[in-house]
Chain A
Amino acid sequence: MTGPRPQPSDICLILEGSYPYVSGGVSSWVQDLIKAQAPLRFTIMALVANSAPRQRRYELPDNVDAVIDVPLSGPRRVGTAIGAGPLARDITPMLLEIEKGAGLPPFTRLVKRLAQVHGRLGSPALMNSEAAWSMITAMYRENAPESSFLEFFWTWRALHGGLFVALLCPLPPARMYHTISTGYAGLVAARAAIETGRPAVLTEHGIYTNERRIEITMAEWLYDAADDWFAIEAPRWDLRQLWMQSFQSYARICYEACTEITTLFGGNQRLQLADGAPADRLRIIPNGIDAAMYGAIERSVEPRRPCIALIGRVVPIKDVKTYIRAVDALRRSVPDVEALILGPDDEDAEYAEECRTLVSYLGLENHVKFLGRVRIADYLGRIDVLALTSISEAQPLVILEAGAAGVPSVTSDVGACREMIEGPATENPPLGHGGAVVGLSSPVATAEALSRLLLDRDWWQQCSAAIRKRVNRSYNKTVIDRVYGTLYERMIAAPDRDPRELAGAD
């Protein structure tokens, strides 16, 4: 009303607990994505825990129009709560349906009902008013009338606090909405799709509900945040189920509202399907690497011992001990093998020490070398085979980096490894194996696969060529950037969607 409205950004990127305030893998990925997609313009909605001041860990690229913080725990005082009573009565059945996993239809009704109070009622009116109290007690009677009300109360608050913030926070205008996780960020994206008729896209790295599931199973933290006055003993299982069930429903809502749902590899897709993602919207977009840079590394020709390497931190999740045992088995067929461990060993000093002890116990001092943190590119030229023995990974880029340099890998069967080594089912024509995939914690199988690659020259050549080709074709960052670019262009150009179409709801 006062002055011209600012031009909406092309993309509103909705992030939960990461960029630009937390550094890490996902945040770096976001930074790269934004830079690579210039000149498209971005607005960032950062869902953060609270309104405490926080520091940015990344320098914002020029094509970021704004960063909007959305604190998930908002103000507490109920101001005027006029209309909160009827509102609470109306939305209680919707919330119950959502909780039961009914997905988008009740969520759409909820968004529309709340749209009537935007700007008038804030989340405190839905959390701390007497109307909110009758909503909580009604849901308790429906959900878990025999459980500890104290625990239900805190669970309810934790779940719905974020939900209401996602539904009531100001939504910046944009041509499309992009979230990289389900959860509350996913709810914001779903709401945006409903309210604006613009497309929403989900590109998931880890599967949010799965990570939550692991957390909750281990969780004592659930009630740690609760008050000291309400001292708590042991959380009860039924409420954890409620918790999990709600996050699954939130994921389903996001899946059903998004036009495209991508993830890094096929294994994750199975989890997405299990959480209710419509199969026809699923797609894989892996992460890419700088194939040109790694492809330019020349293979060293000077005479040297056969060389294998594990590239990664010396920590239990990488299962370095299996690697060491594999070397022990390998030296029977390749007596002069050299086995490098490239990666910092200061993160878990105790584990690193155990690994060194194992090396000396097995008498492998002449084979295994701990080289610490190094520049991988300096070593790739003289590594013959890469070994990866991790017990858990998503899409380890080191296989691709080595692959681009023509180094085949032997990996455990985790995350996207099989897809990267054997090629995705959709690969046409199939490029063949770029190494071998073996079971978890299998030193003998690992040694056999390594030994074949080191001794069978033709096999090595085949694998090297296949992995190099596959990386260039499917995991090249410039290619992946174009894939995202095309995705964005398509969504930005899409006509406004009639919101009714989304849910089939009123």
Chain B
Amino acid sequence: MAGIGFTLRRLTRRDDLLGIVTGYGHSLFVAAGPWLVTVGALVGINAVLAQALGREAHQLFGSIVIYNFSASLIVTGPVILVATRYLADRVFEKKLETATGLLLAAIILGTLPGLLIAVPFYTLVCTLPATTIALAIANYAVISGVWITALFLSALKAYVRVTVAFCVGMIAAFGSASWLGLRYGPDGALAGFTIGLAVTLVVIMGTVLAEYRFPLQRPLALLSYVRRHWDLALGGLVFNLAVWVDKWIVWTAPGQVVVANGLVTNPPYDGAMFLAYLTIVPALAVFMVTVETEFFEDYQRFYRDIGDHGTLGQINDNQTRLIGTVLNGLRSVLILQSVIAVLAIFLAPEIVGATSGSYAQIAIFRFGVLGALFHVLILFCMILLQYFDARRPALMVQVVFLVTNAGATWFTIDLGFAYLGYGYFVAALITFVVAMALVLRVMSRLPYLAFVRNNPSVYGV
């Protein structure tokens, strides 16, 4: 399948406005597509069911979905990063025979630990009817499955197929959740949403299995990879924890809602934050174009020229050029995101109002927007560190984000409701500074890393 980079390069280099617009549109579609259609489906389901279900039932549905998303992202994080690495190494070797075995191993390894948490949680901690328990657990399993199978497509940069699968699934989710929700209440909504996710899963799975037509072999290879790349696995866990930790802490703060004796959330905070996150969608598109076009070309040139017997002068020139491209890309994202953030902050009352949010959410939303500005830059840095195989610096960024987000949020809780979100903003800002410093440091040492530190035949594995 043709890589995303090829498509984006073709579109953005057409040198006419339509090409550029189409290019960024395409990038938007693949970079934020799955997320946007999921949000869209949930918003749609809410709109249809909010009146019909009543507050309590409606909150039950929302809480279960949030819990399942949050837990599954965290638990599958390590497996996803390690399996992506495994797959990337096999793609590099052009030896994909073990991919099917990997898929099975990743699904088991990614889903089972989460189920070990979800099952006791829903059965023992919450007071829920048996059907709801069963549906919540099924929903959890399907979400995990979607994350894990999707990596098999994104590792091949087949982002379009992921987005298409989400579109199909989420349309189904909206339809079935609305219809079942109206008939059977929260259980129906949950079942309908799960069916939609299952459709996504099936579409992705079908694409993956069509792509990797191999018999099942060596499913245990992943385990040795987890051992060898423990820092990657840990990073996957830590980063997703960092993204969610502020919400968990705020769930204990004023505004909290407890459903079914166990499902604690803070809808004003969560809602404002999820809304704020949406502001990074254009930035995601821009940075996908940058990474996949100019950066990737410079990156490849850097390593190719080494193998093609370049002189040190050439190698250093390529390095300078790569650094220039990164700084340019970063600047574009920063400028764009700053404009959006300023607009969002000014228009906060209107935006929050349009989503029928409360007045109190405006402050949270504003901090959230500022935080998201740096959050998106952190993501950019993380991708760069991943490209340079700088696993320790990446882990450091992840840990810093977790620690600062937890610490700062914990601290702001006492400052009162208006300051909720301030912690996230401060944490994102600090983490961005650290991440940027590390990216610059790694890039300034790139030839050393390529020849010595990241070279297995010099430095060992």
Contact = CB atoms under 8 A, between A and B. Distances in A.
Given A76-B459, A76-B460, A229-B455, A148 B310 contact: yes
A145 interface: yes
A148 B311 contact: yes
Nearest to B313: A145
B306 A227 contact: no
A226 interface: yes
Name which of A145, A151, A229, A236 has the most chain B CB atoms within 10 A of its CB.
Answer: A229
Nearest to A141: B312
A229 B457 contact: yes
Given A76-B460, A145-B311, A151-B309, A130 B445 contact: yes
Contacts of A147: 311
Interface in B436-461: 445, 447-448, 451-453, 455-460
Given A128-B459, A229-B455, A229-B457, A148 B448 contact: no
Name which of B313, B315, B447, B458 has the most chain A CB atoms within 10 A of its CB.
Answer: B458
A437 B334 CA distance: 86
B311 A230 contact: no
B307 interface: yes
B312 A77 contact: no
A52 interface: no
A153 B457 CA distance: 13
A150 B459 CA distance: 16
The DSSP consensus for interface residues of chain B is helix
Name which of B312, B448, B451 has the most chain A CB atoms within 10 A of its CB.
Answer: B312
A379 interface: no
A146 B314 CA distance: 10
Contacts of A153: 451
Interface in B291-349: 306-307, 309-313, 315
A140 interface: yes
Contacts of A137: 312, 447
Contact of B312 (A76, A149, A227): A149
A151 B451 CA distance: 11
A228 B447 CA distance: 18
A76 B458 contact: yes
B304 to A, nearest CB: 11
A146 B311 contact: yes
A227 B311 contact: no
A301 interface: no
Contact of B311 (A132, A149, A231): A149
Contact of A140 (B312, B453, B455): B312
Interface string A141-161: 100011111111100010000
B455 to A, nearest CB: 7
A71 to B, nearest CB: 15
Contacts of B459: 76-77, 128
Contacts of B453: 128
B181 to A, nearest CB: 55
Interface residues of B, number: 20
A122 B306 CA distance: 28
Nearest to B315: A149
Contact of B457 (A133, A145, A151, A226): A226
Contacts of A236: 309
A148 B309 contact: yes
A416 B252 CA distance: 94
Name which of B310, B315, B451, B456 has the most chain A CB atoms within 10 A of its CB.
Answer: B451
Contacts of A132: 452
Interface string B108-147: 0000000000000000000000000000000000000000
Contact of B452 (A128, A150, A228, A233): A128
Contacts of B307: 150, 230-231
Contacts of A233: 309
Contacts of A133: 447-448, 451-452
B318 to A, nearest CB: 11
The DSSP consensus for interface residues of chain A is loop
Chain A residues touching B, range: 20 to 34
Contacts of A229: 455-457
B455 A227 contact: yes
Contacts of A148: 309-311
B448 A130 contact: yes
A145 B315 CA distance: 12
Contacts of A77: 459-460
Nearest to A225: B457
B306 A230 contact: yes
Contacts of B310: 148-150
A36 to B, nearest CB: 44
Contact of B306 (A145, A150, A228): A150
A351 to B, nearest CB: 39
A79 to B, nearest CB: 13
B86 to A, nearest CB: 17
Interface in A133-191: 133, 137, 140-141, 145-153, 157
Contacts of A140: 312
A149 to B, nearest CB: 4
Nearest to A231: B307
B309 A150 contact: yes
A228 B459 CA distance: 14
Contacts of B445: 130
A226 to B, nearest CB: 7
A137 B315 CA distance: 11
A201 B306 CA distance: 44
A84 to B, nearest CB: 13
A157 B458 CA distance: 9
Given A133-B448, A147-B311, A153-B451, A227 B460 contact: no
Interface of A: 76-77, 128, 130, 132-133, 137, 140-141, 145-153, 157, 226-231, 233, 236
23 contacts: A76-B460, A128-B452, A128-B453, A128-B459, A130-B445, A133-B447, A133-B448, A133-B451, A133-B452, A137-B447, A140-B312, A145-B313, A148-B310, A149-B306, A150-B307, A151-B309, A152-B312, A227-B455, A227-B457, A228-B457, A230-B306, A231-B307, A236-B309
Closest 5 CB pairs of A and B: A148-B309, A227-B457, A133-B448, A149-B312, A76-B460
Given A77-B459, A229-B456, 13 more contacts: A145-B311, A147-B311, A149-B309, A149-B311, A149-B312, A151-B309, A153-B451, A157-B458, A227-B455, A230-B307, A230-B455, A230-B457, A236-B309
Interface of B: 306-307, 309-313, 315, 445, 447-448, 451-453, 455-460
